[in-house]
Structure 1
Amino acid sequence: MRLPTWIRQHMAALRALLVFTVLLGVIYPLSVFAVAQIPGLKDKAGGSIITVNGKAVGSASIGQSFTDKDGNPLKQYFQSRPSNAGDGYDPTATAASNLGPEDIVDSLPDPALVAAGKEDENAKQSLLTQVCQRSKAAGELDGVDGSRPFCTSGGVGAVLAVFGDRTADGKVPHPTRVVSLNEQEGVVKAPFITTYNGVKVELAKFGEEYARGLVVPIKGNAPTTPAVPADAVTASGSGLDPHISPEYAAIQVKRVAQARGITPTQVEKLIKVEQTGRALGFMGEPAVNVLKLNLALDKQFPARR
């Protein structure tokens, strides 16, 4: 007896469901799990967890902070690359800032909220100001020149709004007003430059609109190649990068050595041990795993109490 078409269609769909359930819901996951148990892969599949005296201290694949309870960098440890993943290095909120190189103007905070000790949720730092602040902080921490092109000495983006009639190519040869967009009145005493093309530079005021002005970044006199490397001031795409460049490690050597009462040469030797080369000899750049390096320091040269 031939079954009705609608019954045969439902039975075919049921068979397909059962086949794919077994294939994709049982066989495939078990196969992946089995492959993950192969020596050399098992550790990575388990999260690359590093333990000390039986206690998990972190993952070799995920960055972490080395700061005190107030968020201040611990001088005896190498510092990691910045992170925009959640509150920092959060695997459940992996993300980048999604800000590009043209993001150079801050949204200034309401001074009334700041005076009341509150946070202005509408305020936002531009990518440029974030880079400038991180570079300044890293320079102060490690005793190197933290200045960068297009940054003020106060650690914000050196950006002007220039008002006046524009030429056909969009320039303002004879400005009538100039405002330092990222320096707020009441926060800083004076703008990073006094005049621009003969016009006195003003500090930005909260609530004023400067969109009609021509946005002009000012390069300044900072070295073209800053002492603080790029990975010290920018977060990775995932926000979870556990590595820093050898260049970033190098500027931290003196501080770490002093905090631990050892010589810079002793610290540099550990950096070379923990440094990895390019993948397959040609992909990527040499890098240093921060957690592994700090653990090696704790093992060989415990910090002074």
Structure 2
Amino acid sequence: MRMSTWIRQHLAALRALLVLTAITGIVYPLAVFAIGQIPGLHEKANGSLVEVDGKVVGSSLIGQSFTDADGKALPQYFQSRASAAGDGYDPLSTSASNLGPEDIVDSMGTDDDGKPEIKASLLTTVCSRSMEVADREGVDGARPFCTKGGVGAVLSVLGPRAADGEVDHPTKVVSVNEFCSVTKEPFLAIYKGMSVVCNDGEDFSTGRIIPIYGDAPADPAVPADAVTASGSGLDPHISPEYAAIQVDRIAQARRINPDQVREVVAAHTKGRTLGFLGEPRVNVLELNLDLDRRYPFQS
């Protein structure tokens, strides 16, 4: 191959590289950015940022916590649902807990200092959140398969099994999520004629694991979104039901009438998308900002 031919080929390749770099690296990104600034697309393209007095306070598409430095709920604000994304609502660590409905047994582990620590199952996490929300909002926190102490109501029934897998004559019954170091009296005294004991750390894995429904209502006062995290961990919305049980606390903290709070909630409640997709929802950040604007909190 002649040197001149080799040079022409490489110059053509270089020109192609420069043209494609300009198109894909400069022209295309600028065109997409320009389209994103069109009215109607501008807000979403820029992250749906919400500003107050020129200061960014959040995004209407990403949830956030309304707590103090110690993680306690601020009484004047509506609370968001829980988040499993990093330390909470971290867009760089969006995720769910990946725990499912069969995760019902707590375990005893150790913390970073090597001290004993109870690792809560999904069921116990839900139960404890329900009690926490109920205590904060002044409602009944009882829910199916939860003890009154806020852990999963689960038994391990040991003994010979029948053909169908049932243990008709148990030799021992353990309340697996009530550890003896914490609870001395299990949520249930007797099961199939056998006294129920607390979990003393012995192996109960050979027993039949049985969740106990209990006497809680099928429709708990604390709604599901108040005790579970979203799949992304970034959900900025709560259900109207969760908002409703927070109204009295907000009204008391801001020294206004509960009907005034309900009016603001109604203004920020959106129905199903297109009338049939999803569920009705309330954007927590926008709701709290509107409350601050209408009824400023006086400490």
Backbone CA RMSD of aligned residues = 2.5
Alignment equivalent of 1:166, drawn from 161, 164, 173: 161
Give how far 1:128 is off. Answer: 0.5
Structure 1 residues 24, 172: CA separation in 2 closer, same or farther (over 3 Å shift)? farther
User: CA separation in 2, counterparts of 1:12 and 1:163?
Assistant: 79
Residue 58 of structure 1 corresponds to which residue in structure 2?
A: 58
Alpha-carbon deviations, 1:119-168, whole Å to 9, x = none? 75975211111110111111111011111000001111100111011112
TM-score by length of 1: 0.89
SS in 1 for 2:62: coil
Which amino acid is the alignment partner of residue 259 of structure 2? T
User: Is 1:252 the equivalent of 2:246?
Assistant: yes
Residues matched between the structures, number? 297
Residue 236 of structure 2 corresponds to which residue in structure 1?
A: 242
Q: Which runs of 4+ in 1 moved over 2 A?
A: 6-32, 117-124
User: Is 1:150 the equivalent of 2:140?
Assistant: no
Contact 1:159 / 1:215 at 8 angstroms: preserved in 2? yes
Residue 201 of structure 1 corresponds to which residue in structure 2?
A: 196
User: CA separation in 2, counterparts of 1:132 and 1:13?
Assistant: 65
Structure 1 residues 17, 99: CA separation in 2 closer, same or farther (over 3 Å shift)? farther
Contact 2:108 / 2:116 at 8 angstroms: preserved in 1? no
Residue 96 of structure 1 corresponds to which residue in structure 2?
A: 96
Unaligned runs of 5+ in 2: none
Which amino acid is the alignment partner of residue 97 of structure 1? S
Alpha-carbon deviations, 1:241-285, whole Å to 9, x = none? 010000100010011111111111000000011111222222111
Contact 1:64 / 1:80 at 8 angstroms: preserved in 2? yes
User: CA separation in 1, counterparts of 2:199 and 2:11?
Assistant: 72
Which amino acid is the alignment partner of residue 296 of structure 2? P
TM-score by length of 2: 0.91
Give how far 1:211 is off. Answer: 1.2
User: CA separation in 1, counterparts of 2:258 and 2:70?
Assistant: 28
SS in 1 for 2:77: coil
User: CA separation in 2, counterparts of 1:119 and 1:301?
Assistant: 48
Give how far 1:30 is off. Answer: 2.8
Give how far 1:103 is off. Answer: 0.6
User: Is 1:126 the equivalent of 2:113?
Assistant: no
Structure 1 residues 123, 10: CA separation in 2 closer, same or farther (over 3 Å shift)? farther
